[in-house]
Amino acid sequence: MKNFAFSILSLFLFATCYAGDTITVHKDSRLDILTAKQAASNKVSQKMTPNGQYKGYRLQIIATNSRDDAFKVKALFLQNFPDKQSYVSYQSPNFRVRVGDFVNKGDAEKFKADLIKIFVDGVDIVEDVIEYTPNP
């Protein structure tokens, strides 16, 4: 492993020492490309959970212990926003209705302004695992 690391290092870097204490390093331009690719990969992986799903935001419009109330709220939401996704989940003792799949919190805040007009009891922005397909 050490030999492999040394070989890679010597492949990309070439240092020449001159008289005195001046060192000139000649860097291979491919290192910049590799660094950019690694930075892009790190940026994407920060938004992912360990099992490959994406972290994002949803708007929670109700948390109730009544299943019927939760599905009534979901139906009302779908009547007003048929093109948006809605999700009902159960975490004892509450049913939660969450809507949307937002990568950015700013987008969730914009949509929250529309929802508050219909759901006056309150709409909360919550972090959640979302359905998202990144652009290649």
Query: What does the DSSP 8-state code read for residue 58?
Result: E
86 Cβ contact partners less than 8 Å away, ≥ 6 residues apart: 74, 77, 78, 97, 98, 99
- pLDDT, residue 51, reads 74
Q: Backbone phi, then psi, for 89, in 5-degree steps?
A: -130, 155
Consecutive 10-residue runs of the chain (136 residues): their mean pLDDT? 53 49 85 85 70 86 94 94 93 94 92 90 89 69
- pLDDT, residue 129, reads 85
- pLDDT, residue 81, reads 93
CATH superfamily of the 54-130 domain: Sporulation related repeat (3.30.70.1070)
CATH 3.30.70.1070 positions along the chain are 54-130
- pLDDT, residue 15, reads 45
